[in-house]
Amino acid sequence: MRAVQVSKPGGPFELVEREVPRTGPRQVRVKVKACGLCHSDALTKEGHWPGIVYPRVPGHEIAGVIDEVGSDVPRWKTGQRVGIGWLGGYCGHCESCRRGSFVTCANQLITGITMDGGYQDFVVVPFEGLALIPDGISSVDAGPLMCAGITTFNSLRNSGARGGDRVAVLGVGGLGHLAVQFAAKMGFYTIAIARGKDKEPLARELGARHYIDSTAVDPAVALQQLGGAQIVVATATNAQAMAATIGGLAVDGRLIVLGADFTPMPLNTAALIGKRAGIYGWPSGSSIDSEDTMRFSALTGVRPMTETFPLEKAAEAYDRMMSNRARFRVVITTGSPDAS
Ligand SMILES: [Zn+2]
Ligand SMILES: [Zn+2]
């Protein structure tokens, strides 16, 4: 089979032939149909995640079909269409797992980082990480829903916002174009915030009721003119841009940080007090959250916008994704036909 691996931090993508891997007792083998690319793939490519064992195959937005099932795997069957996201597996015995919070597992397996991911024809994964893909969701669409999708969907549905509340989405990109759709379909008064006018027509098409060009107006003032946002979902990886929205929060408003920026955020902490406002981060979720994301998408018509590349052009696909010019998620395909 073909695999695209990275052999050392900062090394190039290498297209290699590997033996098709066999399953262990609690694993399944998935014939990969599609794998979305995510900025976090750079953690593997550049070696920014501590302790990665190379060579490593990146990719944590996997969609495919089960083609071999280990001896101790309950429930799952060959031929089922499944997705695998960031959380590849969890230990079941750390404090988080014992409290039922698998995504914060202290010993988690991360797809494409601590175990091989989806830039290949077949991948072997623990069954705990599998999410069933519903009919009506193609493999190319399922891929991005496994990271960009679940992260935006799951953070919004756990944000405490209620139908009709004002929810602002900062950034209309890979995560943001999904967050706008999810927020609108969940019944929130959805406000998109981005730089410039270019993305306004699309943001409105995706369900935004209001668009704020952060280069033309102060987003905090603009949000306050609308009555304040109960939630700002920050998908843009820019701490400055996030900080600029805090003054636009309503009473008890929350800024949810989804985009990872490693530069410090300038913040007037006094502004949080009177409004009881808060800032917190949100990781993706567990496999059942992925399944919920896809079922909600099937139900409401939420879909990622994608550009596809064949597996052998993974390097080109990666450069396209990193350029931030893709509209909006880049997906590699293996050429195996969809089972359904
Ligand atoms: Zn990701
Ligand atoms: Zn654990």
The closest ligand to the CA of 58 turns out to be 1
* Residue 310 preceded by cis peptide, ω within 30: no
Ion ligand 1, residue ranges at CB < 5 A: 38, 40, 147
- Average of per-residue pLDDT values in the chain: 96
| CB-facing half-sphere around the CA of 294: CA atoms within 13 A | 30
Cα 42 to averaged position of ligand 1 atoms, centre (Å): 10
What secondary structure letter does DSSP report for 73? -
Cα 85 to averaged position of ligand 1 atoms, centre (Å): 8
- Among 205, 257, 255, smallest CA distance to 232 is for 255
**Percentage of the chain exceeding pLDDT 90:** 94
Output the CA–CA distances (angstroms, integers) from residue 336 to 63, 123, 249, in the order listed: 11, 14, 47
Strand-pair partners of 211: 192
Neighbours of 252 (CB within 10 A): 12
The two tokens of residue 102 are: 């698998």
Tens digits of per-residue pLDDT, 280-296?
999 999 999 999 999 99
Binned at pLDDT 50, 70 and 90, residue 340 comes out as very low
CA dist., res. 253 & res. 255, Å (int): 7
The closest ligand to the CA of 109 turns out to be 2
Q: What pLDDT score does 337 carry?
A: 63
Asked if residues 147 and 60 have their Cβ atoms less than 8 Å apart, the reply is yes
Cα 154 to averaged position of ligand 2 atoms, centre (Å): 20
Cα 105 to averaged position of ligand 2 atoms, centre (Å): 4
What secondary structure letter does DSSP report for 134? P
The closest ligand to the CA of 107 turns out to be 2
Q: Over 80: is that where the pLDDT of 235 sits? A: yes
Q: Give SS3 for 151.
A: helix
Asked if residues 149 and 122 have their Cβ atoms less than 8 Å apart, the reply is no
The closest ligand to the CA of 103 turns out to be 2
Tell me the Ramachandran region of residue 333: left when phi exceeds 0, alpha when psi lies from -120 to 50, beta otherwise. beta
Cα 184 to averaged position of ligand 1 atoms, centre (Å): 22
C-alpha 35: how far from its chain's center? 12
Cα 313 to averaged position of ligand 2 atoms, centre (Å): 36
Q: What pLDDT score does 18 carry?
A: 97
Tens digits of per-residue pLDDT, 138-155?
999 999 999 999 999 999
What backbone phi and psi angles, to 5 degrees, belong to 295?
-65, -40
* Residue 13 preceded by cis peptide, ω within 30: no
**Percentage of the chain exceeding pLDDT 70:** 99
CA dist., res. 232 & res. 89, Å (int): 30
208's CB contacts (< 8 A; 6+ apart) are 169, 180, 184, 190, 191, 192
Cα 142 to averaged position of ligand 1 atoms, centre (Å): 13
Cα 283 to averaged position of ligand 1 atoms, centre (Å): 10
Cα 151 to averaged position of ligand 2 atoms, centre (Å): 20
Which helix (H) or strand (E) element contains residue 273?
A: helix 270-273
Q: Over 90: is that where the pLDDT of 238 sits? A: yes
